[in-house]
């Protein structure tokens, strides 16, 4: 499963399969410039305490 890190908010989103490159399940990418998003494996992106999972993309995420 691939994820997308929003480098502005340090939030990891789940990439929507079959969509465009930076499309996320919750649709946040529509409001963020492409150069502020970093794709990668979810486990790789969630590497620090300051990085959180999007609550709308992940059932175990922390809020919105
Ligand atoms: Zn999200």
- From ligand 1's centre to the CA of 47, what distance in Å? 17
pLDDT at 42: 92
- From ligand 1's centre to the CA of 3, what distance in Å? 9
- From ligand 1's centre to the CA of 31, what distance in Å? 12
pLDDT at 3 over 60: yes
- Residue 27 is classified by DSSP as -
pLDDT at 20: 64
Nearest CA-CA partner of 42 in 7, 9, 12:
12
| 3-state class (DSSP) for residue 57 | coil
Q: Are strands 11-14 and 52-53 parallel, antiparallel or unpaired?
A: parallel
- From ligand 1's centre to the CA of 32, what distance in Å? 12
Q: How far apart are CA 48 and CA 31, in angstroms?
A: 24
Question: pLDDT tens-digit profile of 11-58?
Answer: 999 998 876 678 899 988 778 888 999 999 998 998 877 899 999 999
pLDDT at 11: 94
- From ligand 1's centre to the CA of 26, what distance in Å? 4
> Is pLDDT larger for residue 21 or for residue 4?
4
């Amino acid at each position: 499963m691939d994820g997308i890190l929003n480098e502005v908010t340090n939030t990891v989103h789940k990439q929507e399969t079959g969509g465009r490159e930076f499309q996320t399940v919750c649709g946040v990418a529509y409001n963020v410039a492409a150069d502020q998003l970093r794709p990668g494996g979810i486990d790789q992106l969630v590497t620090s305490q300051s990085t959180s999972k999007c609550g709308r993309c992940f059932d175990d995420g922390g809020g919105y």
